[in-house]
A and B are shown apart, each in its own frame.
Chain A
Amino acid sequence: MAGKTEINVKEKLSNIEGLQMDLITFEVLRNAFVAACYEASTTIERIAYHPIIGMGRDRSNALLTEDARLVAHGHTDAAAHYASFEPSVQELFKDIPKDTMNEGDTYIFSDPYRTGSHVNDVRMIRPIFYEGKIVAFSCTVIHWADMGGPMPGTFNPEATTCYAEGIRIPPIRLFKNNELDEELFSLIEINIRGAIERRADMKAQFEAARLIDRRVVELCEKYGVETLFQAFEEQFNYSERMMLTELESLPDGEWEFEDFGDQDVMAEGKPPIRVHCKLTKVGSKLSFDWTDSDPQPKASWGGSRATLIGGNYLGFMICFPQLFPLNHGIIRNLEIVSKPGTCVDVVFPAPTTGYCSGAFDKIEAVTIACLAGVMAKDQPWRVYPAAVSLTNLCMGGYNPRTKKDFIQYTWAVGGENARTFKDGKSLIFMRFCNARTIPQELEERWFPVIFDRYEARPDSCGHGFRRGGFGLIRELVIQTDIVMTIHGDREIHTPFGISGGLNGGGSTLIINKGTPDEFDAGMYATGVKLKKGDKIFYGSSGGGGFGDPLDREPELVLDDVIDEWLTIEAAEEYYGVVIEEIDAEAADYRINEEKTKKAQAKLRKKGFKEGTGAFEINVLGKDIKPERIPSEEEVRSHLAISRPPGW
């Protein structure tokens, strides 16, 4: 039985004495908290207007205690969102004292310095009343496709202050007695593009907030508010016990790691941006120190402290997925140290829209790389290279079909990291959210574009004993004149490999490739004017590799060549495996043993170039080594799948 080892391990470690309430009520309530958030997320998904919400799931929902501690979030939500809900609600209290809140009030709030992430992630916070008292808060967030500012979609790589990135919204009582304050909303509407669509998104968000409210009130009616409060505390204690027990059993030590953003495009010489963390573990205590990271860049790349802790939490949860959902019991046990004014803790008036392609995934990847030191001995499967990062493509213009202006905000999924026991997954979402792609057939109907390609990029993986996943190439032909902005990263400093695995291929955006008009836009092109018929070649990065590519079984390299993931040239260049085509139509390719022996010997002698670029060996990553390679079967018995009922 797959579960058997797991059960024994768990029995040994278990610790029930702590639970101060009836086991079954606890279990029911614990599930109900997550279910309420999940239900709210699916509600938004069904009724929101913009496709990135309905189809792309760029939304999250959470339940918090009346003093702003995170209780639960939905299964398919984005960590960049819910991990910053605690600070968001705490900041709300500073402006709007709790005793001035009334039943039916709902607050809108989007100020990256206080709420984390970027202005587009608009929070809606609602006090939940029962018998006249606030018993909890719901917090919902949707990525609003536009928040104003000079660029359609608000992403602006060339912004040097928040004033070039749309409007910030301080805590505002947008709904009083469940009625929208039209006057206040008109102030927002007049400042953003596609306001009528945002109104629908906002409405969906409000309904989600009300839904969590209803669910919590139902629980109060059934179990009583005292039981609800107790279940909150017990849930924190439960997660805490799980976390501390596990940490206690893992080795102590100090580890550090660093990763780079490609460039500060607005600074002279466009220098790279360094994110650095030192992790100290003593017993069950973890402390992450980010103070040695680079100063805040001039351009839009960094994030505020609320963003940093979100990325840090996410990295931690990826190494401890059995602790799902993230809640305050975990949060209160992680020490996160940062220095205001650094790239991971930017301060007013630094721009922030780019945090999601910039600082966030570096923070998450560096957290995981530091934790590799903790996991390497006892849980070698939870040691991971870096994965594809988000790149944001925004297009705006006039849509001849709807006779209205449109905002298209889209991304390219890509290669996940290699695992120690298996290759990485290809064409999958970035690690920080569990969203879905928008079908090309849908996007073509909504927006004036035609897709010529949605396919894996051959050779784009981080090569290794276990290789990373492959990136994606999308080719779009523009059907009307537009303005385009790409806000990404990982073109120069690509997702790092570990233990001798190579870094993944870099992201790319080229206009009219292979024509006299070819223009390499890179990852920071802002407000580029494109004409009807222009073609965008938009590619994402591949995942980092694990282990020396020369140790990979040649048969697996052959398989990759037959499946056309790898070219014959790349098989020789990175694996030293020489493959000959016998009959392509019959899928008959063979390894030339003799030539392979020679090529591998030569490659071994030459080694791979060290560095942080595509297909190089990351020097720090090279030293991350699990003690042993676990088998797939062993890993399967440790899977901690958290999924909504009925999935």
Chain B
Amino acid sequence: MGEKQWVVGTDIGGTFTDVICINMETGEQRLGKVASTPPTFFDGVINGLKRAGISGDEVLSFRHGATVSTNAILERKGVQTALITTEGFRDVLGGGRAERISAFELDWDPPEIIIPRRNVMPVRERVGPYGDVLTEINEEDVLLAARKCKKRGIESIAVVYMDSFMNPVHELRTREILAKELPDVDVTLSHEVLPQMLEFERTCTTVLNAYISPILKNYLGGLAKRLKEDWGYDGPLLITTSGGGVIGMDEAVKFPAKTFHSSPVSGAVGMAGYIGSLANFDNVIAFETGGTTNNVSMIYEGSPAITHEWKILWNVPCCLPSVDTVYIGSGGGSISWVDNGGILNVGPQSMGAVPGPACYGQGGDEATNTDSQIVLGRIDPEYFLGGEMKVDGDLSFKAVQEKVGDHYGWSVQEAAANTYMVALSALMMAMRIQTVSRGWDPREFAIVPYGGGGALYACDLAREIGSTTVVVPPLPGYASAFGAIRVDVKHEFTTPIHQTEEELNFDELNKEIQNLVDKSHAILAKEGIEEDMASVERFVDVKYFSQSRFFTVDLPDGELKSLDGIIKNFMDDMEAEYGYSLPEGYAPVEVVNLRVVAKGEIIKPDLPEIEKGGKLATKATRQVWFKDHDFLEADIYERGELPPGAEFSGPAIIEQPDTTTVMPPGTHCTVDKYGNLVIKVDQ
């Protein structure tokens, strides 16, 4: 005991808390899946760690992901928050960008605004677009806002002034005043969270940060304390981010908005990306199927596709760098229904976990995707969650027959098969849009399915989009926890410039670049990253003046003396993305932001190699429906019994407690030394 050998990854979901521990010396792997314990989620973490049987003093590094922040937004369980903003711009947050979700639907409403208008408090001040102070700050207004906050029980304040990213003097002064007047209230300044143009996006991101700041502070503080007191761990805590990395606890407490949707993201980057690389694929479609949604993210040339305008909800953008994840509203619990024109639809309405699919026998009588999979023989009702959950397959047959089959005069099998095809077509479109619209060829991607249901669709999807390989990881149900231990420390910082070529002063620009680089090294050092493990990549956001979207391109090495290298990169990138570029010199080029990505490489355990098992053997055969084939006799394998090196072909089903893999005819599986199912799909 006392030997620090374990790396621990934990992830808290709405239902389960997952723990995965890997011993760096021996490769031993221990798991703990326990019920989540809202509202004191850290209890669940401790329970999981105890279940895994590891104690804190044996732990080398601890990585943690939590949906606490995302859920606080979705369930509107943040704290009482106020917004202090420039007088005259009170409705920037509520008005958003004035768009609707849908072309003709007037009955739709956007999600309720996080801060009601009464708690948006104006202050007379104005900084101009070039950073000059146009109107001095009126400190009386700040004091009035402080009095209002006090009387109204405000616990956290977002301060967002127009153009503050060009000159934060008024935001800083406001914090000084608030610190004196309201010492116990959290204050988030917009230029610190997101020093970028676009007032609505910056306001919303800042408000999200403020709204959950005290919650995450309490939660992570509580977790650190419990880990130390009840588990004996006093090393650093690394927290997963939406950008596909981990950051130190201090940074996470200061900028909790960086942790949104980090669970699916770590699964995509740390699990799917890694598993793909084991099968020699740098390009991976990470495909997660849960109860209500499918999540699709892309890994291209080893890096995740990042967006800077991720929306946590409609009109609720968080513009910190985030792995671009598309959520498709059809998961295991999604309902099949027939529309007015006679077309079969699947989702987005879902039965969720309660009452759940018809087969759960909890009163749900709608035909869900899971029910169709049972009718098609793909999921064995006797083996639901490895046999731990009792489900009634007859109820699936009944629901699919009544809700779909009877309508069209189809047999129950036909009804289920068509439901499957509709669900498949929606997934296919999503994957296509994710690849083709970025100019990527889907044939160069491997699909890595995870979550409960991904492997039911993956082989058919691969064939539809022209991909040749599917890799099913050994523990698809632990993707986020496992992902948390496979990602590096990652930060992204920007400095706004907003100058055209002829307005630029290269000395100042070089100084700004150096400042960013220094800041990056400082924070990595603070988080314990050794110098030789640290790297800082330098980028520049550039566009034609008056274009609305910018390109992020590499900053050429060395001191900048002209924009020539940047413009070349800009043209090349534009050519690659749009298939053409505008002629050089056609319009002035504008440098929008400087951007750095700071990475600290940290220890990452590899998947343990599985011990040589026995001989490959089927546990049964049964009739299973396959696309383009109808019902065929399929071999059924138990995942845990598959020896490394085993090879077999579809039609086959591989069962394990947390997922089922369907291999249609024309697919060939090799079990690699880690236990991954590497499935080649004939085209």
Q: Is B264 an interface residue (CB 8 A)?
A: no
Would you list which residues of chain B between 73 and 100 have a CB under 8 Å from chain A?
A: 88-92, 94-100
Please tell me which one of the listed residues A325, A419, A563 contacts residue B116 in the complex, with CB atoms under 8 A apart: A563
Q: Is B280 an interface residue (CB 8 A)?
A: no
- Could you jot down 26 A-B contacts, CB within 8 Å? A14-B341, A24-B418, A24-B422, A27-B425, A48-B547, A49-B547, A51-B546, A197-B546, A242-B340, A321-B103, A384-B106, A426-B95, A435-B98, A436-B97, A437-B95, A437-B98, A439-B201, A441-B162, A446-B545, A450-B129, A587-B148, A645-B326, A645-B328, A645-B429, A645-B430, A646-B327
Please tell me which one of the listed residues B199, B428, B500, B545 contacts residue A440 in the complex, with CB atoms under 8 A apart: B199
Q: Is A50 an interface residue (CB 8 A)?
A: yes
Alpha-carbon distance between A18 and B342 when the two chains are bound, in angstroms? 9
Contacts of B408 in A (CB 8 A): 16
Contact B98 A11 (CB under 8 A): no
Name A434's closest neighbour in chain B (CB-CB). Answer: B100
Contact B344 A23 (CB under 8 A): yes
Alpha-carbon distance between A472 and B117 when the two chains are bound, in angstroms? 15
Contact A475 B88 (CB under 8 A): yes
Contact A585 B102 (CB under 8 A): no
Contacts of A266 in B (CB 8 A): none
Closest 8 CB pairs of A and B: A54-B548, A16-B342, A3-B349, A427-B95, A453-B88, A242-B341, A321-B104, A586-B151
Alpha-carbon distance between A24 and B89 when the two chains are bound, in angstroms? 49
> Chain A 1-39, CB within 8 Å of chain B: the 1/0 string?
111101100110111111100011011100110010001
User: Chain A's nearest CB lies how many Å from the CB of B348?
Assistant: 8
- How many chain B residues sit at the interface, stated as a range, is 35 or more
Please tell me which one of the listed residues B104, B117, B588 contacts residue A402 in the complex, with CB atoms under 8 A apart: B588
Stretch at the interface among A281-289, A295-303, A524-532, A635-643: A635-643
What number of A residues sit within 8 Å (CB to CB) of B? 113
Contact B340 A245 (CB under 8 A): yes
Contact A207 B578 (CB under 8 A): yes
Contacts of A15 in B (CB 8 A): 341-342
Name A29's closest neighbour in chain B (CB-CB). Answer: B425
Contact B578 A46 (CB under 8 A): yes
Contacts of A381 in B (CB 8 A): 107
Alpha-carbon distance between A444 and B134 when the two chains are bound, in angstroms? 13
User: Chain B's nearest CB lies how many Å from the CB of A360?
Assistant: 15
Alpha-carbon distance between A97 and B429 when the two chains are bound, in angstroms? 36
Alpha-carbon distance between A639 and B326 when the two chains are bound, in angstroms? 22
Stretch at the interface among B7-15, B36-44, B579-587, B654-662: B579-587
Q: Is B339 an interface residue (CB 8 A)?
A: yes
Contacts of A317 in B (CB 8 A): 103-104
User: Chain A's nearest CB lies how many Å from the CB of B203?
Assistant: 10
Contacts of A422 in B (CB 8 A): 109
User: Chain A's nearest CB lies how many Å from the CB of B383?
Assistant: 28
Contact B433 A241 (CB under 8 A): no
Contact A436 B102 (CB under 8 A): no
Would you list which residues of chain B between 613 and 648 have a CB under 8 Å from chain A?
A: none
Alpha-carbon distance between A436 and B315 when the two chains are bound, in angstroms? 11
Contact A453 B89 (CB under 8 A): yes
Contact A441 B88, CB 8 Å, known A10-B337, A241-B341: no
Q: Is A239 an interface residue (CB 8 A)?
A: yes
Contacts A43-B578, A207-B580 aside, 20 further interface pairs with beta carbons under 8 A come to A1-B335, A14-B339, A17-B342, A46-B578, A51-B548, A75-B102, A77-B103, A314-B104, A425-B110, A428-B98, A434-B100, A435-B98, A437-B97, A445-B129, A453-B88, A585-B147, A587-B152, A641-B105, A646-B326, A646-B433
Q: Is B169 an interface residue (CB 8 A)?
A: no
> Chain A 107-137, CB within 8 Å of chain B: the 1/0 string?
0000000000000000000000000000000
Q: Is A417 an interface residue (CB 8 A)?
A: yes
Alpha-carbon distance between A496 and B677 when the two chains are bound, in angstroms? 64
Please tell me which one of the listed residues A245, A472, A635, A647 contacts residue B95 in the complex, with CB atoms under 8 A apart: A472
Would you list which residues of chain A between 204 and 242 have a CB under 8 Å from chain B?
A: 207, 238-239, 241-242
Contact A434 B99, CB 8 Å, known A49-B546, A317-B104, A645-B433: yes
Contact B152 A586 (CB under 8 A): yes
Contact B101 A641 (CB under 8 A): yes
Contacts of A46 in B (CB 8 A): 549, 578
Contacts of B430 in A (CB 8 A): 645-646
Contact A11 B546, CB 8 Å, known A2-B349, A472-B95: no
Would you list which residues of chain B between 149 and 165 have a CB under 8 Å from chain A?
A: 151-152, 162-163
Alpha-carbon distance between A639 and B102 when the two chains are bound, in angstroms? 10
Contact A425 B109, CB 8 Å, known A440-B162, A645-B326: yes
User: Chain B's nearest CB lies how many Å from the CB of A222?
Assistant: 11
Q: Is B443 an interface residue (CB 8 A)?
A: no
Contacts of B437 in A (CB 8 A): 39, 42
Please tell me which one of the listed residues B102, B199, B545 contacts residue A439 in the complex, with CB atoms under 8 A apart: B199
Contact B341 A200 (CB under 8 A): no
Q: Is A484 an interface residue (CB 8 A)?
A: no
Please tell me which one of the listed residues B102, B109, B200, B498 contacts residue A643 in the complex, with CB atoms under 8 A apart: B102
Name A635's closest neighbour in chain B (CB-CB). Answer: B107
Contacts of B429 in A (CB 8 A): 28, 31-32, 35, 645
Q: Is A47 an interface residue (CB 8 A)?
A: yes
> Chain B 559-581, CB within 8 Å of chain A: the 1/0 string?
00000000000000000001110
Alpha-carbon distance between A47 and B544 when the two chains are bound, in angstroms? 10
Contacts of B349 in A (CB 8 A): 1-3
Q: Is B407 an interface residue (CB 8 A)?
A: yes
Contacts of A639 in B (CB 8 A): 105, 107-108
Would you list which residues of chain A between 614 and 647 have a CB under 8 Å from chain B?
A: 635-636, 638-643, 645-647
Would you list which residues of chain A between 433 and 464 have a CB under 8 Å from chain B?
A: 434-437, 439-442, 444-446, 450-456
Contacts of B128 in A (CB 8 A): 444, 450
Alpha-carbon distance between A427 and B152 when the two chains are bound, in angstroms? 27
User: Chain A's nearest CB lies how many Å from the CB of B411?
Assistant: 15
Contact A31 B425 (CB under 8 A): yes
Please tell me which one of the listed residues A26, A320, A442 contacts residue B197 in the complex, with CB atoms under 8 A apart: A442
Q: Is A583 an interface residue (CB 8 A)?
A: yes
Contacts of A551 in B (CB 8 A): none
